[in-house]
Structure 1
């Protein structure tokens, strides 16, 4: 809250400084117009003052500058017409200034109202996202964990990126996924999958059985009575991992999701699944057999799990963010330090604004217990 207030006070000070520009413009145009030969009329240039103010000021500031422009135009008319109070030309210019100023004030009122509504929507969206996706614990057994979620800024449209972790008697199970679509429907589907994962991950079932259960949970939700049947239209890509505490290998089932990356001594290795399963929610259509793959994960390695909002983030030329290429040679083994550098690098690539939600989890194995 204090940072928000500081930003608002800084914006107010900047606005006060900028308002000197249109005022100086009014003064300059008025003086030059009064001193100019009779055939030269610069009064129409006064309309630029409220137009400039609308780019940074609110309705009151624009109304004040527009009023000053009208007063200046009336003063010019009086000084340049000794015989009559105001000529027809100056009267027309004053009427034009009044109409333009009133239009700009109305525009600023509507713009500020829209900005407040969008800010409120973004606040509600971010709150809902934090409720569904609280940060992961910093320590999960012998694992050090850090999570990062970057929300898209386009119209405050929250997406369905998800992640969760659960401790078992012998290790840690994690899921990272992405619901097709955006908005509250996607968040609801993500919340349902996270709930199903947390309820079932503790059971002494194989990883393949866990994934089959999750697929069934998504399918049941899509065909729930009283709701529109969305089967075949909505699905969730995901990768589900089982990381034993005492084994240097990780079991994985990939369901149409971007593969994990293991960073060892600054060299990234992508852990592609030879035969990935279809996304969750399509099991009733594809009837897959969930193949469990494995890959090495030794002490000192950094395991990265992410959503396609990372790899599909585009720069100004339309080029995707090359995750494996960008992190090559990064010496950070600490998950928090790695994510801080990653966040700066990703936002620099996209010019500071993401068009899709992006999530990334960094996991370091400290020991084999």
Structure 2
């Protein structure tokens, strides 16, 4: 291990020496030609043309060399970004416990592949648990906060028996992360995170908790409506969680129905005239398609609406229930009162 660690700086130093060697050699050739070549000392037109051609060749070679070096560094940076994205936002499985799943993210920062949005879906003993979140701001700080929250979720969903316990774990992790970052930077971190937690039981029963995050849309046939209209809790970060956390029971997700989770960058996107993007209208047009097709259609419409330049990160996650078990006893007929006005239940 010591030999490997020692070799890494040597390789880096060798690369720097080699990268500077060629421009230095070209510069030395040009100076030598100018000082020692008799032709370079003459003022005749032919001599000037030759001298100009020599220096033009040297300059062109330097530009090409620098360009290639910058392209190599850009490729390395993109490789690092791809690795970071695969760790932070791991590709969701296309199928989880009878649910077809698709997720995608669009960063507002040009050239960036990840931002402050986060999502994850996992199969647990309690059912399929999903998180969708949005960190305030952009850049490396937001990415670090998103990584901390996602890491906590990936552990908590398998340890906690209910969503309230998962949410409290996320809150403690965020508070610790912001405190440690403030100690390192010497500044008070004023970030907050909106979080939506969903649990889809084996019978399709939906349970949800939201801290400042928009409720997902339910696609049932040709109907597109919010899963809930209840007021969410405040975002994580600025205020402590209350002792009682109202978990919403939103009725069953029936076979063939789809949930679309999103971050507010989707509905806050505007066109050149200041008009907001209509996410429900975009979902309506693709309501009967697969989750992957739904996401593709929404992103296409959003980019067309914003002229290809969204001003905020956007994340989407779609889940379709493709289980074919019988409808559970007591499930609704044609109406869904629980989705429009769900009744909260509280737990200490």
TM-score, length of structure 1 as denominator length: 0.64
2:254 aligns with one of 284, 298, 306: 298
Deviation track 1:330-358 (CA, whole Å, cap 9, x = no partner) reads 34341122222222222221222333221
Partner residue, 1:238: 195
**Structure 1, gaps ≥5 residues long:** 1-105
Q: What is the CA RMSD across the aligned residues, in angstroms?
A: 3.4
1:309 aligns with one of 261, 265, 270: 265
- Give the C-alpha shift of residue 165 in structure 1: 1.6
Partner residue, 1:202: 158
Deviation track 1:39-70 (CA, whole Å, cap 9, x = no partner) reads xxxxxxxxxxxxxxxxxxxxxxxxxxxxxxxx
Q: Distance in 2 between matches of 1:271 and 1:231?
A: 36
Q: Distance in 1 between matches of 2:70 and 2:277?
A: 32
> 3-state SS of the aligned residue for 1:162?
strand
Q: Distance in 1 between matches of 2:269 and 2:66?
A: 32
- Give the C-alpha shift of residue 108 in structure 1: 11
Check if 1:135 corresponds to 2:112: no
TM-score, length of structure 2 as denominator length: 0.67
Q: Distance in 1 between matches of 2:248 and 2:207?
A: 6
> 3-state SS of the aligned residue for 1:332?
coil
Matches within 5 A, 1:182-331: 182-224=138-180, 226-228=183-185, 233-247=190-204, 249-284=205-240, 287=242, 289-296=244-251, 297-331=253-287
> 3-state SS of the aligned residue for 2:312?
coil
Higher Cα radius of gyration: 1
Deviation track 1:218-264 (CA, whole Å, cap 9, x = no partner) reads 111111284247667111111001110113x3111011012110011
Partner residue, 2:54: none
Cα separation, partners in 2 of 1:316 and 1:107, compared to 1, 3 Å: farther
Deviation track 1:311-348 (CA, whole Å, cap 9, x = no partner) reads 12222222221101222243434112222222222222
- Give the C-alpha shift of residue 282 in structure 1: 3.0
> 3-state SS of the aligned residue for 1:328?
helix
Cα separation, partners in 2 of 1:289 and 1:117, compared to 1, 3 Å: farther
Partner residue, 1:341: 297
**Structure 2, gaps ≥5 residues long:** 1-61, 326-348
Partner residue, 2:105: 149
> Does the 8 Å contact 2:85/2:113 carry over to 1?
no
Q: Distance in 2 between matches of 1:274 and 1:146?
A: 26
Between the two structures, name the one with larger relative contact order (CA 8 Å, sep ≥ 6). 2
Number of matched residues? Answer: 276
Matches within 5 A, 1:106-121: 121=77
Q: Distance in 1 between matches of 2:209 and 2:187?
A: 24
- Give the C-alpha shift of residue 275 in structure 1: 3.0
